[in-house]
């Protein structure tokens, strides 16, 4: 049967992935997100989540979501531009704009959708996109959509400001768009945002910043990577932040000038043609945003745990990348070796995922250790001791 042949082709590809040590599987949690995760009946110490401030299981946020669901219902019923933009959505957008210092913000159901709305909307025929080679997959897909729209796309070596400057200087594009992660999701390092902003100013370019892993963690009151570097909420900057990581809930936003946000609202396809997130999510985010603003103690605790981990793993045969953030990558190299190390930790009750190509470059398979303010000092020591034993 033809359908059997079609599925057989897929099965062959899956077998090839497995043979290369690149197959993936999901684990089903039987508990809320937190430092301890119950999986397959086992209690695991969780170093896999992006719950950097430990807010995903916070009772106050959960109660805010429940209250908003009771007040506003389970669903929004339509896209924002039809009839799905409710008071909680408007409230959280205004709150996010004020928190980040921009005139306006636009909310999205996911960070992926937010990124798909920005670059392809700004850049089309006659325009040029300049993107860091280690940008997140959503930014890469957005870049591909811009390319399909007729934009020229160039990727510069990771954090190589001089190379980017040469590309910008050589471009005669009508509109130039620089696109970068603020905190790179697999390396944990920071983009040189002050230098990128200076280039954007000098070459009259847009600067699109994905702050998925910096929002809530970096800068005064967790206002993000721009605030961390004391950069202004410039009208040439569009800032994307996700709300399912440090914020502990879900969704995303793009903040920028009133004109730029109105432009995205009118022309961003992944905004226009998506049903708005449930209003309860927005209600929960209002509570989360206040906890982030008041969360200096959580951030101090998080950075104490990061320093403890780095000190403990210094000199290990698997090097840690020089990351100052909650993302701490331990480079193993070989795919199978990374998976085996992750499994050995799993057997010791430690959940640390192995990350392999194509998520990271070939030969750089790693353990991606996610540190949270929810971790106790003893949790960090337990992971350090296990890795030293396995080394």
In three-state form (DSSP H/G/I as H, E/B as E, the rest C), the secondary structure along 76-132 is CCCEHHHHHCCHHHHHHHHHHHHHHCCCEEEEECCHHHHHHHHHHHHCCCCCEEEEE
Query: Is 372 a known active-site residue?
Result: no
Query: Is 213 a known active-site residue?
Result: yes
pLDDT at 25: 84
pLDDT at 337: 95
Q: What is the DSSP string of 272-298?
A: HTSBPPPHHHHHHHHHHHHHHHT-HHH
pLDDT at 88: 98
Q: Which residue in the list 80, 176, 228, 245 is annotated as catalytic?
A: 245
Whole-angstrom distance, CA of residue 113 vs CA of residue 142: 9
Mean pLDDT of each 10-residue bin along the chain, 391 residues long: 84 91 85 92 96 97 98 98 98 98 98 98 97 97 97 98 98 97 97 98 98 98 98 98 98 98 98 98 98 98 98 96 97 94 97 93 95 98 98 92
Q: Enter the pTM of the model.
A: 0.95
pLDDT at 163: 98
pLDDT at 1: 55
pLDDT at 301: 98
Residue 170 burial by CB count (10 A; 0-12/13-18/19+): exposed, middle or buried? exposed
Query: Is 388 a known active-site residue?
Result: no
Cα distances from 58 to residues 74, 178, 249, 262, 332, in angstroms, run 20, 36, 10, 34, 34
Q: Which residue in the list 136, 213, 228, 375 is annotated as catalytic?
A: 213
3-class SS at 245? coil
Q: Which residue in the list 109, 138, 185, 288 is annotated as catalytic?
A: 185
């Amino acid at each position: 049967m033809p359908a059997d042949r079609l599925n057989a082709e897929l099965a062959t590809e899956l077998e090839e992935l497995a043979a290369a040590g690149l197959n993936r599987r999901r684990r089903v949690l039987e508990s809320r997100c937190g430092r301890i995760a119950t999986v397959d009946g086992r209690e695991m110490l969780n170093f896999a989540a992006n719950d950097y401030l430990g807010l995903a299981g916070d009772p106050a946020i959960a109660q805010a979501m429940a209250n908003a669901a009771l007040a506003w219902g389970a669903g929004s019923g339509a896209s924002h531009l039809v009839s799905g933009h409710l008071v909680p959505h408007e409230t959280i957008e205004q709150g996010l704009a004020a928190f980040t210092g921009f005139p306006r913000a636009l909310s999205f159901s996911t960070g992926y959708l937010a990124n798909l709305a920005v670059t392809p909307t700004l850049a089309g025929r006659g325009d040029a996109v300049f993107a860091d080679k280690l940008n997140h997959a959503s930014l890469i897909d957005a870049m591909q959509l811009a390319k399909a729209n007729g934009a020229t796309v160039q990727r510069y070596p990771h954090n190589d400001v001089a190379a980017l400057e040469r590309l910008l200087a050589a471009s005669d594009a009508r509109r130039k768009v620089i696109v970068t992660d603020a905190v790179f999701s697999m390396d944990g390092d920071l983009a040189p945002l002050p230098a990128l902003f200076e280039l954007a100013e000098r070459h009259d370019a847009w600067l699109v910043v994905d702050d998925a892993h910096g929002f809530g963690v970096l800068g005064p009151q967790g206002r993000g990577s721009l605030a961390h570097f004391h950069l202004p909420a410039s009208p040439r900057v569009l800032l994307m932040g996700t709300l399912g990581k440090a914020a502990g809930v879900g969704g995303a936003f793009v903040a920028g000038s009133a004109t730029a946000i109105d432009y995205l609202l009118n022309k961003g396809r992944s905004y226009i043609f998506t049903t708005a997130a449930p209003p309860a999510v927005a209600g929960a985010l209002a509570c989360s945003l206040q906890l982030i603003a008041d969360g200096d103690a959580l951030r101090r605790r998080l950075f104490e745990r990061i320093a403890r981990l780095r000190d403990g793993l210094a000199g290990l045969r698997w090097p840690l990348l020089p990351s100052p953030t909650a993302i701490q990558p331990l480079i193993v190299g070989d795919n199978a070796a990374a998976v085996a190390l992750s499994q050995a930790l799993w057997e010791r009750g430690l959940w640390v995922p192995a990350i392999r190509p194509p998520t990271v470059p070939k030969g750089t398979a790693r353990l991606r250790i996610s540190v949270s303010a929810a971790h106790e000092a003893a949790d960090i020591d337990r992971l350090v001791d296990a890795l030293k034993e396995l080394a």
